[in-house]
Amino acid sequence: MHLSESIPAPLQGDLPAVSAYGLQVVRGSHTVLSGVTFVVPRGCIVGLLGPSGCGKTTLLRSVVGVQQATSGHVQVLGHPAGAAQLSTRVGYVTQAPSVYADLTVLENLRYFAAALGMRGWRREDAVVRVVKEVDLTGYADQLVSRLSGGQYSRVSLAVALLNKPDLLVMDEPTVGLDPMVRRELWVVFQRLAEEGTTLLVSSHVMDEADRCDRLLLMRAGRLLASAPRSTVLERTGCTGTEEAFMHLVEAAEAAEARQRQQAAAQALLPDLAGLYGLHEQGGEADAERAAFSTADTRL
């Protein structure tokens, strides 16, 4: 069972924030993503949820353009993922801390703003704006090493907001934070979405899905669902996202078991055909094999 809405043809001027088609990523000998297809409409919060190791980071890296796809493609705001035109339009908050603990909040922000090419009043305006956006005004002169986990996360978020990105991609931004702090961060995310930013947020905490407009539910490198949260609940007949996820996992496992059984049954046919000397190539042999198979079933 896979819940996926039909992908609408993008209207002129109404391009989705992200559209991925048939994305496959192989790292080493491991197929990390397979057949991943989805659309993220503009201005919504999309939760990418799934267990640890299912491929969330790899998917986000593909959207940001730092992970090369083996096949398929990802378009972001109308451009191929990673295109130069997107460098100021996509913000990425990685899982690993990306700010300097021995600098203050303001020093960090000024440093990253300068690295983005901002100078003078433009840089100061951006720094003041993002400090307000992440509710860190009272902590601007604090060393980052003295901040709490939630405040630390907000500094990383503030860096990603310096360019006023249209799309903000966040990799487990609330991991390791207590429920109260997580709730406060989600207030910031919701405010950003209300102001028009599209948010793609990964998490393995299912209750965070309740705060998202749309869900990408992932398991073992494949999407189980790509739809509005309400549709996921409605189509699975579940009342909560965790229950819906489990329902989809069970349906996927049942489908895989059926496929394995069919494949095992198919694999038997050539052996039986060999046994009866029915290995000739071509339509006649195939027809005979089919007849044999039918006869065998009747027995």
Ligand X SMILES: Nc1ncnc2c1ncn2[C@@H]1O[C@H](COP(=O)(O)OP(=O)(O)OP(=O)(O)O)[C@@H](O)[C@H]1O
Q: Which residues pair with 74 in a beta bridge?
A: 20
In the complex, least distance from residue 220 CB atom to ligand X, rounded to whole angstroms: 9
Among 4, 24, 31, 58, binds ligand X (CB under 6 A): 58
CA 263/CA 77 separation, integer angstroms? 41
Cβ distance to ligand X smaller for residue 27 or 260 = 27
In the complex, least distance from residue 188 CB atom to ligand X, rounded to whole angstroms: 22
Binding status of residue 30 toward ligand X by CB under 6 A: yes
Cβ distance to ligand X smaller for residue 32 or 39 = 32
In the complex, least distance from residue 259 CB atom to ligand X, rounded to whole angstroms: 22
Dihedral class, residue 117 (left if φ above 0, else alpha if ψ from -120 to 50, else beta)? left
Binding status of residue 298 toward ligand X by CB under 6 A: no
Please provide the size of the chain in residues: 299
Binding status of residue 57 toward ligand X by CB under 6 A: yes
Among 16, 41, 47, 55, binds ligand X (CB under 6 A): 55
> Beta strands 71-76 and 18-27: pairing type?
antiparallel
In the complex, least distance from residue 286 CB atom to ligand X, rounded to whole angstroms: 40
What tokens does 121 get? 């009043």
> Beta strands 167-170 and 79-80: pairing type?
unpaired
Binding status of residue 176 toward ligand X by CB under 6 A: no
What tokens does 142 get? 């604090």
Q: Which residues pair with 18 in a beta bridge?
A: 40, 76
What residue has token string 């027995």? 299
Among 22, 27, 66, 146, binds ligand X (CB under 6 A): 27
Among 12, 13, 14, 52, binds ligand X (CB under 6 A): 52
Binding status of residue 53 toward ligand X by CB under 6 A: yes
> How big is the CA angle at 227 (ends 225 and 228), to the nearest 5 degrees?
135
CA 74/CA 80 separation, integer angstroms? 6
Binding status of residue 54 toward ligand X by CB under 6 A: yes
User: Of 54-62, 68-76, 108-116, 252-260, which segment contacts ligand X by CB under 6 A?
Assistant: 54-62
CA 164/CA 145 separation, integer angstroms? 26
In the complex, least distance from residue 245 CB atom to ligand X, rounded to whole angstroms: 14
In the complex, least distance from residue 48 CB atom to ligand X, rounded to whole angstroms: 9
E strand map for the chain: 3-4, 18-27, 30-40, 45-49, 71-76, 79-80, 90-93, 167-170, 198-203, 214-219, 222-228
User: Of 50-58, 115-123, 237-245, 276-284, which segment contacts ligand X by CB under 6 A?
Assistant: 50-58
In the complex, least distance from residue 23 CB atom to ligand X, rounded to whole angstroms: 12
* DSSP code of residue 44: -
Residue type for position 83: A
In the complex, least distance from residue 175 CB atom to ligand X, rounded to whole angstroms: 8
Binding mask 186-225 toward ligand X (x if CB under 6 A, else -) reads ------------------x---------------------
> Using CB under 6 A as the criterion, which residues of the chain lie in contact with ligand X when the complex forms?
27-28, 30, 32, 50, 52-58, 204
